[in-house]
């Protein structure tokens, strides 16, 4: 558990299934473009329980670290912060994140990503991280900039959002830990 004052960053547990499922369903439109796979795996409560068990075993196997942002008062999951695409040879990984719209614009994801960078370095021996964001996704670009990630390159036509036919360019931001 990583402390974030009124919130905490936790390894997801089956007890979180209901709040995680309802948070994702409530934010389907907000998360659709950049989190289609996560939404696809959480269409109902049973699927979310499977998702949590899979992510927990991937965490224990150091394959990927999917963590929940939890509101300490309501004990509910209000967001996800993820270390994935881990390349052990170069000790590098991708950071991805999403937050319930009710908690947006208050600096919470900036705080969370800063904590995840420290976790990646101190607890998981990672040496660098990257974030992929579309140039129109200002909140995400700002989170990357505010947490010390610097723009490194444009990955041309590298991502095709669901329900869209044309691949889009993604901006890569990197941080040496
Ligand atoms: C990206 C996301 C996690 C940001 O979370 P957050 O807690 O609101 O982020 P923060 O409050 O820490 O920082 C957001 C920054 O974006 C800015 N911002 C927010 N909405 C904005 C907008 N529509 N246009 C421009 N800037 C915006 C905020 O002002 C803030 O920057 P500032 O501190 O310089 O003012 C959240 O918007 C989200 O879940 N989006 C949907 C999923 C997603 O796109 N994930 C990223 C995939 S790459």
φ/ψ of 172, rounded to 5, equals -105, 125
pLDDT, averaged across the chain: 97
pLDDT for res 174: 98
**What is residue 9's three-state secondary structure?**
strand
Q: What average pLDDT does range 107-117 have in this prediction?
A: 98
Q: pLDDT value at position 92?
A: 98
Query: Can you tell me the mean pLDDT for 94-117?
Result: 98
Q: Which residue of 27, 32, 105, 162 sits with most ligand 1 atoms within 8 Å of its CB, as the best mutation to test the pocket?
A: 105
Compute the distance between CA of residue 141 and CA of residue 41 in angstroms, rounded to an integer. Answer: 26
pLDDT digits (tens, 9 = 90+) for 63-82: 999 999 999 999 999 999 99
Q: How many domains does the chain have?
A: 1
Ligand 1: atom nearest CA of 100 is 39
What's the order of all strands across the beta sheet hosting 76-87?
2-4, 7-11, 65-71, 76-87, 92-99, 128-133, 168-176, 150-159
The protein residue whose alpha carbon is closest to atom 24 in ligand 1 is 138
CB of 101 within 6 A of ligand 1: the answer is no
CB 137 less than 6 A from any atom of ligand 1: yes
CB 147 less than 6 A from any atom of ligand 1: no
Pairing of strands 65-71, 92-99: unpaired
90 lines ligand 1 (CB under 6 A): no
Percent of the chain with pLDDT over 90: 99
30: containing domain: 2-176
Percent of the chain with pLDDT over 70: 100
Which residue owns the Cα nearest ligand 1 atom 42? 98
Strands 92-99 and 128-133: parallel
- Tens digits of per-residue pLDDT, 12-49? 999 999 999 999 999 999 999 999 999 999 999 999 99
Q: Could you tell me the CATH number of the domain that includes residue 161?
A: 3.40.630.30
Closest-lying ligand 1 atom to the alpha carbon of residue 79: 39
């Amino acid at each position: 558990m990583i402390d974030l004052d009124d919130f905490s960053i936790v390894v997801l547990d089956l007890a979180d299934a209901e709040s995680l499922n309802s948070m994702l369903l409530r934010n389907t439109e907000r998360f659709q473009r950049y989190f289609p796979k996560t939404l696809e795996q959480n269409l109902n409560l049973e699927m979310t329980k499977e998702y949590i068990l899979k992510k927990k075993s991937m965490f224990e196997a150091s394959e990927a670290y999917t963590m929940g942002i939890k509101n300490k008062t309501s004990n509910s999951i209000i967001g996800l912060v993820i270390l994935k695409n881990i390349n052990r040879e170069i000790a590098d990984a991708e950071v991805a994140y999403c937050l319930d719209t009710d908690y947006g614009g208050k600096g919470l994801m900036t705080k969370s990503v800063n904590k995840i960078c420290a976790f990646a370095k101190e607890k998981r021996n990672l040496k660098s991280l990257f974030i992929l964001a579309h140039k129109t996704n200002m909140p995400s670009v700002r989170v990357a900039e505010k947490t010390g990630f610097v723009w490194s390159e444009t990955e041309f036509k590298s991502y095709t959002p669901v329900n869209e036919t044309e691949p889009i360019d993604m901006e890569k931001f990197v941080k040496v830990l």
